[in-house]
Amino acid sequence: MQSNAALEYDYTVAKLFTYTAIIFGLVGMLIGTLIAAQLAFPELNYLFGEYGTFSRLRPLHTNVVIYGFTVSGVFATFYYSAQRVMKVSFAESPFLMAVGKLQFVLYVILAAWMVVTLFMGVTANKEYAQMEWPLDVLTVVVWVLWGVAMFGLIGMRREKALYISMWYYIACFLGVAMLYLFNNMEVPTYFAAGGLGSMMHSVSMYAGTNDALVQWWWGHNAVAFVFTVPIVAMVYYFLPKESGQAVYSYKLSLLSFWGLMFVYLWAGSHHLIWSTVPDWMQTMGSVFSVVLILPSWGSAINMLLTMKGEWNQLTENPLIKFMVLASTFYMLSTLEGPIQAIKSVNAIAHFTDWIPGHVHDGVLGWVAFMIMAALFHMAPRMFKREIYSKKMMEAQFWVQTTAVVLYFTSMWIAGITQGMMWRAVDEYGNLMYSFIDTVTVLHPYYTIRAVAGVLYVAGFVLFAYNMFMTITASKKIEEEPQFRSPMAA
């Protein structure tokens, strides 16, 4: 074993997942912008025949952003930060290094297979669980390999105390493993239909209301354990490392952790309010969703108070800007979700554009901002080069912030307008508006959303270019920065 003084961290796997995060982010967001434009301008549905329609591209967009961009970001930041907080290098274990590389190779194969099958229209027809069973099996293999790398590293660590970020990464691994397995239990239709079906296509082992409950137990907790828990892990590591500030309260971080673990799991049935699901389960989903504000805001407030007395860093360091605003969007999103889960509010919000408005202020403002900030922080330390352009990062920040605000405000207005128009009746109890009336009224807001998409992708192109130039052409640095990342003007 190497001594601490001579310890050289091995970023091979972290670099590989950094590349895929950038590529999948660009592809997923380009598709998202196209389908946003299709809702405003329907003729865009006919650009590529059946392969260019909204219904074919929308699952591709969500899966590439969630399982491509976000999960790549989770893996990249884990393989970078885990070594550092546990004072051990992957180079010390050829076995764990091989596991990490194998995980990456299988992950890329899985991602390519997912893109091809979804383009072909091969789907299990479940939200956030569209991949068919062979891909589910490969997903399990990839996930188990990550677990082997994670617990292998924990087993050989020199730092005996597990930093809070590792708690959240472990929770991400265990939560997704449990939920994914249960929701994706399915049978190929070849066996279900007495040999008349297909070996590739499958049907769920659950039916009706049970299927809906298991699906949203998974669906909402995909948000919990992919979009929330590992992103909190990132901010607890990268904000203190970039700012030079200690986490405000370690006790609050643990309290928020256990609150999230207990409460988030039972909030999924709020997706099924006003459905055939038993009323007590709908109420449980509402109650747990409202209680969820406490641990969510506990984490966010802890992040913001970490900058107490050092707010001047926001004007000096764009990376701090990204992380602080990400935490702010997290607070906004985790207040908005519980409000939508209140039954009387849900009666207006359900099936409207307010829902994607809520999702995207979380994904674009919280998840993507934090992943991009983390990759920027990692780049000088992994590639021994300063960040290529501070001005470009500042421009990216303002372009993307404008995009997020345009996106969620246009969808708030559109969604509430939709909900009110669908419910409006005249003095005789007849509906006052037809469906096409609502579509006509919402057209300007759909156009604003498409413009927001273009702006956000433009910002992501700036990010990708800045990262590329940082990796390949930026000025080399001799010593690893202790805190603030070096960047050229």
Whether 416 is covered by a domain: the verdict is yes
Q: Is the pTM for the entire model greater than 0.85? A: yes
CA 73/CA 63 separation, integer angstroms? 14
Cα gap 154→103, rounded to integer Å: 18
The pLDDT score that the predictor gives to residue 1 is 40
pLDDT 10s digits, 156-168: 999 999 999 999 9
CA angle 390, 395, 396 (to 5 degrees): 95
Band of pLDDT at residue 6, cut at 50, 70 and 90: low
Write out pLDDT tens, residues 212-252. 999 999 999 999 999 999 999 999 999 999 999 999 999 99
**Does any domain span residue 332?**
yes
Query: b/e string for 367-391 if b means 16 or more Cβ within 10 A?
Result: bbbbbbbbbbbbbbbbbebbbbbbe
Tokens linked to 206:
């659950």
Within a domain: 95: yes
Q: Please tell me the predicted confidence (pLDDT) of residue 47.
A: 87
Helices and strands in the chain, H and E counts: 19, 2
481: left (phi over 0), alpha (psi -120 to 50) or beta: beta
Closest CA to 241 of 484, 14, 74, 8: 484
Query: Is the CB of residue 330 less than 8 Å from the CB of residue 366?
Result: yes
Assign residue 284 the CATH number of its domain: 1.20.210.10
Residue-wise pLDDT tens digits, 82-118 = 999 999 999 999 999 999 999 999 999 999 999 999 9
Rounded Cα distance, 174 and 165, in Å: 14
Place of tokens 């605000």: 405
Residue 421, Cβ neighbours under 10 Å: how many? 18
* 326-360 pLDDT tens trace: 999 999 999 999 999 999 999 999 999 999 999 99
Question: Could you give phi then psi for residue 149, rounded to 5 degrees?
Answer: -65, -40
Is 487 inside a domain boundary?
no
pLDDT(198) > 90? no
Residue 482 lies in a domain: no
Contact call for residues 120 and 49 (beta carbons, < 8 A):
no
Higher pLDDT, 125 or 76: 76
d(CA 373, CA 463): 10
478 part of a folded domain: no
Overall domain count for the chain:
1
User: What pLDDT band is residue 193 in, cutting at 50, 70 and 90?
Assistant: confident
The residue to which tokens 């380009």 are assigned: 30
For residue 113, report the phi and psi dihedrals to the nearest 5 degrees. Answer: -65, -40
SS3 at position 202: strand
DSSP state of 487: B
Full domain range(s) for residue 320: 9-191+198-472
Residue 52: predicted pLDDT? 93
Q: Is residue 429 included in any domain, yes or no? A: yes
Is position 481 within any domain? no
Q: What percent of the chain has pLDDT over 90?
A: 93
